[in-house]
Structure 1
Amino acid sequence: MSNKQKSVEVEERGHWGSKVEFLLAVAGNVVGLGNVWRFPYLCYKNGGGAFLVPYLVFVVTCGLPLFLLETTIGQYTQQGGITCWRKLCPLVEGIGYAGQLILFYSCMTYIIILSWALLYLVFSFSSQLPWASCDNYWNTDNCIDFSTQNKTFEWTNQTNTTFAATEFWERRVLAISSGIEEIGSIRWDILLCLIVMWITCYFCIWKGVKSTGKVVYFTATFPYVMLVILLIRGLTLPGALDGVLFYLLPEPSRLTDPQVWMDAGAQILFSYSVGVGSLTVLGSYNTYNNNCYKDCLWLCLLNSGTSVVAGFAVFSVLGFMAHEQGVPIAEVAESGPGLAFIAYPQAVAMMPLPQLWSICFFVMLILLGLDTQFVAMEVVMTSIIDMFPTVMRRPGRRECFLLLFCLICFFCQLVMITEGGMYVFQMFDYYACNGACILFLCVFETVALGWIFGAERLYGIIKDMTGVNANPFFKICWLYFTPLVLLGSFIYSLVEYQPLTFNRWYVYPAWAYVLGWVMTFSSILLVPGWALYKLGTGTGSFKQRFHHLCQPAPECSLTKIEEAELQHITEEDLHWLNSS
């Protein structure tokens, strides 16, 4: 077989079918569960409306510059999260490997949440919501149900009681054991939901950007329909205004607390999906002249705007819940799984037509999480395929490799759906996917691109691709503000480290903390480790090796305009020489 025939068998890398597909894919990736169950909680916990001050500071100095930076290098190099660094700055290729490892950890944990949400959705079709009463086999004598008992009795005697929604979550869904040492058996109903979610994700992206670009038309837009419905319903409930005021009431004194600023920074990194290569891969499927500068500004506005609107939807319902129970809002406001699987389900159980609102809420959660999950999978797939294009882009290879990736994640995460699985899940979430790891990667990313590759060169690339002069403020951020703010946040996160606990009472054994730190450093050490490996195995003196590894690939050393100008001058010179 000739080389020409062989090359025909290698599939094209592909592009988005339209600009809308790119915008929806990025929106679906960055707008996720964190907008609904993390931002509103952080806002009320850290000073209400005053929290928006540090939040906006991090948006301007870190979120927007990093968002634009990663999208730009993806669109410019047309490469995934690992091979883009080979073209721009080979010395720090470890950033790409570290980002993919964090995404691998995230793929295992994030889909567990979707499985829980799917199980709740199935139960939402019951004639009576199972978390709305204490008449089930999993309930204890201490169970209380706000819909049937006296409110004053519940509030004054709550020390030895538990809510029906809490018992459903802990005793029915999780069947949680007493500690990580007691793993127990697999929860088979969650296992079934997990299989359904993996099959869904597989077929969403099995054809690459061709299938992903079509699926996001539904998964990225329909959650907004559900969010608007829940927002309107929430604002019409009694007590909703109290919840909204509690959510936004400013506490300026909290601005002096460093932890408030850390929470704002961590929220920006997670919600903007920076540091792990996701935006790089999504941008790499754009055409070279796409106006990514304008796209990034609008997408960042959409992301932050969704967070604020979700806060109104969530806290209007929590205000209603506090009104009905006769308790302070602070007692019902939670973050993370506690909000999604205890507080909110308990609130909808107290509304008229509870099944309808429960279905709306969990459909929204599933769709918000689904596109974030399959985009993360697509990013890992693209990054690995771009490393071995001639092998992996053969017909049928991608589908087989994706199936292998799904199976590896599935079998690795089985321990998380056991009776002790919640403890393992929290370890992965707290250590393997935490903000410190991403902070570290973002610091190296901005230093490598701002100082080694060159902020001025990046500025020229944006001008070359979009025809627009980006605001010079971005250059200042890439050089100074972003790396300094991120480095300060990284150091503070290590200084103020608090060991992981569960429900404020369970302390993990020492070996679990050691394992947690191993997961943390498994990604962080890839950056200096790869640099040392390349410096140690190269040829020439140390200075020559370092200089070579800091140089971009020849095709990335000039913009298209510069290449065209150079080519034009060369042709003119040759013509003049020949005529002479």
Structure 2
Amino acid sequence: MADVEMNHLWPPGEHNTSASASSPSPDKTSPDADHRDKEAESWASPLDHLATLLSFTMGLQHIMRFPFLYHANGGGAYLLVHLFLMAVFGIPLFLLESFIGQFTSSNCIRVHSLFPAFKGLGIASCIVIILVAPYLAVLFGYPLIYFVHTFISIEDWNLCSDVWETDGCVPSVSFVFPLFCVTGQNDSASYGLSWRLVLAVFLVWFLVFLALFKGLKVLGKVMWVTAGLPFLLLVILFFRGVTLPGAWGGGSYIFFMEARKLVEISTWKSALDNILFSYSFGLGTYTTRSVSYNPFRHNFARDVLVVSAASVTVEIIAGISLTCIWGFLAHQMQVPFSNVLASGFDATYYILPQAFSLMPYAKFWTCLYFLFVFVIGLPALIVYVQVLTDCILTSISPQRRRMRWALVLVTCTLGFLLSLIYCAPEGLERLFFVDMYAESLTTRMVCFLEVIIFAYVYGAGRIARDMEMICNKIASYYCYFTWISIAPLVLLIALTAYLILLGEELIGGMALACVAPLAFLVYVLCYVFRNDCCKIFQEEARPWGPKTARDREAWDRYCTERPLRNSLVHRALKRSF
């Protein structure tokens, strides 16, 4: 077994002399590094990067989960907990992932050249994307189907009809659109697949291909549309919601607070889970997709703060909008407000469509709603595919890298074929199962190890100094202290709690949740036992630090002029004593 050395990773003037010089290292600078630097992609404008961040973070998860969690966990109490965790955990983790991506211009695999054995974390993230992307395509195919069906001429969408109802008509809060068109029931398609859903999913993957096959120049323009249009539609729906009859019957539930919820574990757990899920931390999205294509000196911290503020604002606007629409629906159906509360799939495809179907000019508002759902959801799938293809592109030769369109085409084709699993009548059950187990364990594990590696192995003091170099200002004590204390503690608690809960789940759920973590462990073993058989699993690595020769030289000078006696201590903090 070879020693796991890190002597080539330390900044100038801080060389790790304790590492064995004779130990072989698999991480050698590639001879094609300078050539690759010249071919590296970059955003046409820094605003393209900001638009990408906004379109990705303002996803369905913010719109459909936050309002329900707000009402289910004490209203204002949940909002306070959510904002507190965002301040001491969410934003610092956002900054850390953005920093390591921009500083090294690497994807989620190569960024771990700091500790090469942990490149398996990036592989685990890619496996989760492979599991998640196919069902996301199906999830975003539904609004396309319903968008088309809103144009079908029906005298009253809420009256019973053999076309729309199969289990009889009961006046209640239930979905009024043809659910069998989605699940494949009563469908004449072969092999039990719904041809409507297959066609919709194919269109989704085709749009993903169009967004990615030309690289960042096209992607940046697409993200401008997917960032601006959803926000415009959300504002329109907001003003429509607050002006509905009975809306403020639900609106009265906006401004309430159950103080006892502040001390309940379930409130804190719900807020933490929502932050991890909504921002997709631990999946390499911020490391690979956006900041790694920024100029080395780009002020990523400003973008993180703008996007975080925008995301919270969108959550609040969506919360008010949905609460008013729920109040309108409860008023129309003459049922208690609590009966119409829902989140996720139920809110998106059951409750809210019925509310819009009861409004004047129902077809217009329903079309607008499903357009909103599609446009706000699609960027997540585009980003995930972008991360996956980027990880593959950086592992092949520069000559083949010019065939980006072919790789994107193959990826989208395979994704479409995998999506067919969810187009059968039992597809929704499979979708909910994968959605429940595929992501949660891996994101917690990756985020926790990510913080440990960069805050303790590399050192929070070094990170603060490197951020000072990029942003040309002293890194805040706020980020520094959260990286070394609150963030790892919160993630350790979240990871431990999830493992305890996972032990009570069915074998199938446990197996699916452990697929990506097991791949990480396999990679670690392959790195440690470096025989010929294991070399095929080892990703070609590059030294830690800036990618281009010019930025590396500047970093060398900066570190030499500002040496640290202890990698864990903030340089400015040490100077103040």
Question: For this pair of structures, how many residues does the alignment match?
Answer: 518
- Asked if residue 414 in structure 1 is aligned to residue 420 in structure 2, the reply is yes
1:525 paired residue among 518, 522, 527: 518
Q: 1 CA distance for matches of 2:199 and 2:365?
A: 24
**Could you say which residue in structure 1 is the equivalent of 2:53?**
26
Q: 1 CA distance for matches of 2:377 and 2:545?
A: 40
**Could you say which residue in structure 2 is the equivalent of 1:332?**
340
Contact 2:82 2:271 in 1 (8 A): yes
1:187 paired residue among 191, 194, 211: 194
The DSSP-based 3-state class of the residue aligned with 2:273 is: helix
Q: 1 CA distance for matches of 2:421 and 2:557?
A: 56
1:245-256 mapped onto 2 (5 Å cutoff): 245-256=252-263
The DSSP-based 3-state class of the residue aligned with 1:267 is: helix
Report deviation, 1:338.
0.6
**Could you say which residue in structure 1 is the equivalent of 2:94?**
67
TM-score by length of 2: 0.84
Residues 130, 379 of structure 1: alpha-carbon distance in 2 compared, 3 angstrom cutoff: farther
**Could you say which residue in structure 2 is the equivalent of 1:495?**
500
**Could you say which residue in structure 1 is the equivalent of 2:170?**
144
What letter matches 1:174 in structure 2? T
**Could you say which residue in structure 1 is the equivalent of 2:456?**
451
- Asked if residue 534 in structure 1 is aligned to residue 527 in structure 2, the reply is yes
1:390 paired residue among 398, 402, 410: 398
TM-score by length of 1: 0.84
Measured against aligned partners, the alpha-carbon deviations of 1:59-91 in whole angstroms (never above 9, x if no partner) come to 1222101111111111111111111112x2212
Report deviation, 1:140.
3.6
The DSSP-based 3-state class of the residue aligned with 2:141 is: helix
Q: 2 CA distance for matches of 1:59 and 1:415?
A: 36
Runs of 4+ in 1 over 6 A off after TM superposition: 7-11, 556-559, 566-569
Report deviation, 1:111.
1.3
Residues 453, 565 of structure 1: alpha-carbon distance in 2 compared, 3 angstrom cutoff: closer
Residues 458, 538 of structure 1: alpha-carbon distance in 2 compared, 3 angstrom cutoff: farther
- Asked if residue 92 in structure 1 is aligned to residue 83 in structure 2, the reply is no
Residues 484, 10 of structure 1: alpha-carbon distance in 2 compared, 3 angstrom cutoff: closer
- Asked if residue 174 in structure 1 is aligned to residue 183 in structure 2, the reply is yes
Q: Which moved more, 1:259-268 or 1:521-530?
A: 521-530
Q: Which moved more, 1:472-481 or 1:529-538?
A: 529-538
Measured against aligned partners, the alpha-carbon deviations of 1:251-281 in whole angstroms (never above 9, x if no partner) come to 1222232122111111111222211100011
Q: 2 CA distance for matches of 1:165 and 1:30?
A: 28
Measured against aligned partners, the alpha-carbon deviations of 1:32-74 in whole angstroms (never above 9, x if no partner) come to 0111111111111111111012212221222101111111111
Q: 1 CA distance for matches of 2:559 and 2:326?
A: 63
The DSSP-based 3-state class of the residue aligned with 1:496 is: helix
Q: 2 CA distance for matches of 1:272 and 1:255?
A: 23
What letter matches 2:136 in structure 1? Y
Q: 2 CA distance for matches of 1:518 and 1:568?
A: 51
Q: Which moved more, 1:231-240 or 1:527-536?
A: 527-536
- Asked if residue 400 in structure 1 is aligned to residue 406 in structure 2, the reply is yes
**Could you say which residue in structure 2 is the equivalent of 1:464?**
469
Residues 189, 431 of structure 1: alpha-carbon distance in 2 compared, 3 angstrom cutoff: same
The DSSP-based 3-state class of the residue aligned with 1:143 is: coil
Report deviation, 1:481.
0.8
The DSSP-based 3-state class of the residue aligned with 2:192 is: coil
Structure 2, gaps ≥5 residues long: 1-30, 533-539, 563-577
- Asked if residue 210 in structure 1 is aligned to residue 224 in structure 2, the reply is no
The DSSP-based 3-state class of the residue aligned with 2:529 is: helix
The DSSP-based 3-state class of the residue aligned with 2:283 is: coil
Contact 2:137 2:419 in 1 (8 A): no
**Could you say which residue in structure 1 is the equivalent of 2:573?**
none
Q: 2 CA distance for matches of 1:458 and 1:552?
A: 16
Residues 231, 46 of structure 1: alpha-carbon distance in 2 compared, 3 angstrom cutoff: same
- Asked if residue 14 in structure 1 is aligned to residue 22 in structure 2, the reply is no
1:81 paired residue among 86, 101, 108: 108
**Could you say which residue in structure 2 is the equivalent of 1:310?**
318
Residues 66, 538 of structure 1: alpha-carbon distance in 2 compared, 3 angstrom cutoff: farther
**Could you say which residue in structure 2 is the equivalent of 1:135?**
161
Contact 2:125 2:442 in 1 (8 A): no
Contact 1:33 1:369 in 2 (8 A): yes
**Could you say which residue in structure 1 is the equivalent of 2:309?**
301
Report deviation, 1:137.
2.4
Contact 1:206 1:399 in 2 (8 A): yes
Residues 163, 452 of structure 1: alpha-carbon distance in 2 compared, 3 angstrom cutoff: same
What letter matches 1:407 in structure 2? T
**Could you say which residue in structure 2 is the equivalent of 1:165?**
175
Residues 172, 189 of structure 1: alpha-carbon distance in 2 compared, 3 angstrom cutoff: closer
Residues 163, 301 of structure 1: alpha-carbon distance in 2 compared, 3 angstrom cutoff: closer
Contact 2:109 2:119 in 1 (8 A): yes
What letter matches 1:47 in structure 2? G
Contact 1:133 1:164 in 2 (8 A): no
What letter matches 1:188 in structure 2? W
